[in-house]
């Protein structure tokens, strides 16, 4: 049901039956290592290209989520997935393996919550019994496509972010035990004219702020309703800007509940500059870390605001600015 301008309230509250988080060697060194289902020692995953390695990550994430829910892949009626690769090949190739009906989506790093929101909408409308939302990113594959070769010795500025190598998947069902998806706010494209691809946090912060404000305005609730409000991959630079912007706009979010997946996933000693980015950033932190904390009873209500920078290497070279988007999904225990 639509509430306000762009928030869906899911009356039947689709259940998050199972979720999974897969990571690479760099994620294994981070503070959230225990929340991953599989941590790979090798970024190649035994494949002969980074692109194939990313597909493998997503396949494993889907497989584990299905297995955890005690289902078979034939039970999955719809698979929604997006990633950063050209023509979302990681998602399409994983869908080929799964064999279920597939909707490919693209929201850059916001694909995680875009997929989850749409899967919840499908399950809520009784259009499916089970729907699976997944997403993945691979550091080396993303560097290769968007920036420079991985072994290139260029210096990155302190605003740059590190793409997460990993994948996450969430399996939604109409009934069962587990956290429930209660509402989702779909973002608008916000472009503040910034064009530096090494400062995504700064470019995406206004989009996150726009969606967060819309969420609370549409639902008529206060930020204190949630135990955690986490943005996807703003990093330290974007998080600071978003915090200040929200305060200036008069929406006070207590600093202890407002956080960012891109800050949480890596430790201070890891050389990631401003933090993490990539589709898998919000996906692994949410489906691994936050869901585990919810199951332990530490937190009850979370709002995940996945942020995405909708640029392409071509648009950046043609001096276009970076359009950004953010989608928010609320998960309650």
At closest approach, how far in Å is the CB of 296 from other proteins? 35
Q: Is 286 exposed, middle or buried (0-12, 13-18, 19+ CB in 10 A)?
A: buried
Helix axes 235-248, 200-219, angle to 10 degrees: 40
Q: Say whether residue 244 binds other proteins (CB under 8 A).
A: yes
Query: Using the rule CB under 8 A, is 51 a contact of other proteins?
Result: yes
Euclidean distance between CA atoms 121 and 119, whole angstroms: 5
Residues 117-143: b if buried by 16+ CB within 10 A, e if exposed:
bbbbbbbbeeebebbbbbbbbbbbbbb
Candidates 206, 275, 288, 308; binder of other proteins (CB under 8 A) is 206
Residue 297: CB atoms within 10 A of its CB come to 8
Position 28 contacts other proteins (CB under 8 A) = no
Question: Cα separation of 196 and 202, whole Å?
Answer: 9
- Under the criterion CB under 8 A, does residue 11 sit at the interface with other proteins? no
Nearest Cα neighbor of 142 from 89, 202, 203, 81 is: 89
Shortest spacing between CB 276 and other proteins, in angstroms:
16
- Mask for 126-165, x = binds other proteins (CB under 8 A): ------------------x---xxxxxxxxxxxx------
**Cβ-Cβ contacts under 8 Å for 1 (sequence gap 6 or more):** 8, 9, 10, 11
| Position 194 contacts other proteins (CB under 8 A) | yes
| Candidates 21-29, 46-54, 114-122, 277-285; binding stretch for other proteins (CB under 8 A) | 46-54
Q: Could you tell me the CA-to-CA distances from 181 to 10, 37, 138, 318 in Å, in that order?
A: 7, 22, 27, 40
In the complex, minimum distance from the CB of residue 193 to other proteins, in angstroms, rounded to a whole number: 4
Q: Is 90 in the site for other proteins (CB under 8 A)?
A: no
Which position among 237, 253, 285, 302 is part of the footprint of other proteins (CB under 8 A)?
237
Interface with other proteins: number of residues (CB under 8 A): 33
Q: Is 250 in the site for other proteins (CB under 8 A)?
A: no
* Closer residue to other proteins (CB): 240 or 295: 240
- Select the residue interacting with other proteins from 46, 193, 220, 250 (CB under 8 A): 193
Torsion of CA 156, 158, 160, 165, to 10 degrees: 90
Cα distance between residue 75 and residue 172, in whole Å: 12
Site string for other proteins, 251-290 (x = CB under 8 A): --------------------x--x----------------
Give 51 or 114: the residue with its C-beta nearer to other proteins. 51
Tell me the C-alpha distance between 219 and 169, whole Å: 27
What is the nearest approach in angstroms of other proteins to the Cβ of residue 321?
8
Q: Which residue lies nearer to other proteins by CB, 96 or 249?
A: 249
- Positions in the binding site for other proteins (CB under 8 A): 48-51, 144, 148-159, 191-194, 199, 202, 205-206, 236-237, 240-241, 244-245, 271, 274
């Amino acid at each position: 049901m639509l509430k306000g301008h762009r928030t869906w309230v899911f009356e039947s509250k689709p259940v998050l039956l199972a979720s999974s988080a897969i990571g690479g060697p760099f994620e294994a060194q981070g503070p959230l290592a225990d929340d991953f289902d599989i941590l790979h020692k090798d970024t190649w995953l035994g494949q002969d290209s980074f692109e194939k390695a990313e597909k493998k990550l997503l396949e494993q994430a889907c497989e584990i989520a299905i297995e955890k829910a005690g289902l078979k892949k034939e039970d999955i009626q719809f698979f929604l997935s997006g990633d950063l690769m050209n023509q979302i090949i990681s998602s399409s190739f994983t869908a080929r393996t799964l064999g279920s009906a597939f909707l490919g989506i693209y929201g850059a790093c916001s694909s995680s919550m875009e997929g989850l929101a749409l899967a919840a909408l499908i399950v809520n409308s009784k259009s499916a019994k089970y729907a699976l939302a997944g997403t993945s990113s691979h550091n080396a594959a993303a560097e290769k496509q968007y920036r420079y070769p991985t072994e290139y010795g260029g210096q990155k500025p302190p605003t740059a972010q590190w793409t997460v190598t990993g994948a996450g998947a969430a399996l939604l069902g109409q009934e069962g035990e587990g956290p429930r998806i209660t509402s989702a706010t779909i973002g608008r494209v916000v472009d503040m004219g910034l064009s530096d691809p090494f400062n995504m946090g700064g470019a995406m912060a206004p989009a996150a702020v726009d969606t967060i404000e819309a969420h609370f305005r549409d639902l008529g609730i206060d930020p204190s309703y949630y135990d955690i409000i986490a943005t996807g991959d703003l990093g330290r630079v974007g998080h600071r800007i978003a915090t200040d912007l929200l305060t200036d706009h008069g929406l006070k979010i207590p600093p202890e509940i407002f956080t960012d997946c891109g800050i949480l996933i890596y430790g201070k000693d890891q050389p990631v500059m401003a933090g993490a980015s990539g589709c898998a950033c919000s996906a692994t932190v949410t489906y691994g870390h936050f869901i585990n904390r919810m199951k332990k009873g530490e937190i009850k209500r979370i709002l995940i605001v996945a942020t995405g920078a909708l640029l392409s290497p071509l648009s950046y070279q043609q001096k276009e600015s970076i359009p950004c988007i953010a989608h928010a999904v609320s998960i309650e225990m």
